Amino acid sequence: MRTVIQGPLAGTTGAAIAEQALKACVHCGMCNATCPTYQITGDELEGPRGRIYLMKQALEGARPTRITLDHLDSCLSCRACETTCPSGVQYHRLFDIGHAAVAETVGRPWTERMLHEAIRRVTVSPTLFGLAVGLGRMVRFALPDGLKSKLPPRVAVGARPNAAAHQRRMLMLTGCVQSAAAGHFNAATARVFDRLGIGLVEAPRAGCCGAVSFHLDAADQAKAQARANLDAWRPLIEAGAEALVVNSSGCAAFIRDYPDVLRDDPAYRDLARQVADLVRDPVEVLQASPLSARRAPDQPRIAVHEPCTLQHGLKLTGRIAALLARLGYEPQPVADNHLCCGSAGAYSLLQPQMSARLKSDKLAKLNASGPSVVYTANIGCWMQLAEGSPAPVRHWIEAVDEVTRP
């Protein structure tokens, strides 16, 4: 697709990335077949091909309207289209550039800007998020259904092993929302790695990965969060940390994109590449390990929910189910596994109707075979699916922890 970028982006690295993606697109439409919003609406502008045309027009100098921004806002950034595309179009890179350019040109009303900022400030701070969750539980009876469904269930954290007991060390991202709402994910991960003789070390000064800020029109804040994390991890990497273990696939996928996020920052580009290369989802480590079950699972019949970031971002489709099957579980088939659950970061708050439809469809598919438990791999998806699921929803590392404990 021939294109010439004009305006403020012309001549920048962002323009080069956008031009490459647009040139690769042959507008075949195969992407629409796996796009969740297109599947529901049937609207060409609610699919990747239509959104690509909208971004192309805007980047070539046509002034976009609020209608264009609305169609881009409704994109989940799930990247299912990339998995389907025969031409290898890097849609998410084009979308990050085009969406930001359109949002800046069109602008948002102050109410919308305030909502974005409120969501961003609360979610990136474990303290604020923890307070918000605690308050929400106290007044749950008075909350609208949309907010009730976002309150995470209470779960005991459990014991954490001493990472210093092992010579082998890996870093672990604590997370922002996850550390406040689901500390048991990190505790279970640390226990499993402890059994392999690996200590998971958390950098005290590392915080939010930056994904929430980046997707809420706050790219500068996201870059600052990325730099702060890189500074926090650098000394531990230099001291011999083998990898950066990230048990939330959304965070892992975004950290893998740090080289892109900081592409124009010569002071951090090389370190961003180094850290991106060190990112490991726990399944990548555990699959290659001699880990074995010490007991049969209490509830072997399960369904595995594979988040979009795990499938289309990290390219790890099928790995979790294979590992759990090796450990004695019985993963059941899940129809339309590639379609998003509707969580997508802050999407469930900003696009509640579409999100609710996707959630309902996903829960129906996950529970169709009557599993005892649904296992997922991302904090946002856990919070999205836990409310309303006939089977309890947990992180898959808890399943590993259960059958490998002494």
Residue 146 has pLDDT above 80, yes or no: no
pLDDT tens per residue, range 55-84: 999 999 999 999 999 999 999 999 999 999
The values of phi and psi at residue 331, to 5°, are: -65, 130
pLDDT grade for 311, boundaries at 50, 70 and 90: very high
How many other CB atoms are there within 10 angstroms of residue 367's CB atom?
A: 17
How many other CB atoms are there within 10 angstroms of residue 65's CB atom?
A: 13
Residue 154 has pLDDT above 80, yes or no: no
Residue 213 has pLDDT above 70, yes or no: yes
pLDDT grade for 33, boundaries at 50, 70 and 90: very high
The predicted structure's pLDDT at residue 319: 98
> Are 230 and 271 in contact, with CB atoms under 8 Å apart?
yes
The values of phi and psi at residue 19, to 5°, are: -60, -40
Q: What mean pLDDT is predicted for residues 23-46?
A: 96
Residue 156 has pLDDT above 70, yes or no: no
DSSP 65: -
pLDDT tens per residue, range 221-242: 999 999 999 999 999 999 999 9
Distance of alpha carbon 142 from alpha carbon 288, whole angstroms: 48
Please name every residue paired with 279 in a beta bridge, in sequence order, or none if there are none.
Answer: 244
Return the amino acid letter for 171.
L
Report the SS3 class of residue 246.
coil
DSSP 174: -
Percent of the chain whose pLDDT exceeds 90: 82
Distance of alpha carbon 250 from alpha carbon 175, whole angstroms: 11
Distance of CA 286 to the CA centre of its chain: 20
The predicted structure's pLDDT at residue 177: 86
Please state the pTM of the whole predicted model: 0.94
The predicted structure's pLDDT at residue 179: 85
The predicted structure's pLDDT at residue 147: 64
Distance of alpha carbon 272 from alpha carbon 62, whole angstroms: 34
Return the amino acid letter for 141.
F
The predicted structure's pLDDT at residue 131: 81
Name the helix (H) or strand (E) containing 82.
Answer: helix 80-84
Q: Mean pLDDT, the chain, as a whole number?
A: 93
Q: What mean pLDDT is predicted for residues 330-338?
A: 96
pLDDT tens per residue, range 113-140: 999 999 999 988 888 877 877 777 776 6
Residue 143 has pLDDT above 80, yes or no: no
Residue 351 has pLDDT above 80, yes or no: yes
pLDDT tens per residue, range 354-381: 999 999 999 999 999 999 999 999 999 9
Distance of CA 75 to the CA centre of its chain: 14
Return the amino acid letter for 27.
H
Q: What mean pLDDT is predicted for residues 189-195?
A: 96
The predicted structure's pLDDT at residue 4: 83
CA–CA distance from 237 to each of 40, 244, 307 (Å)? Answer: 45, 9, 28
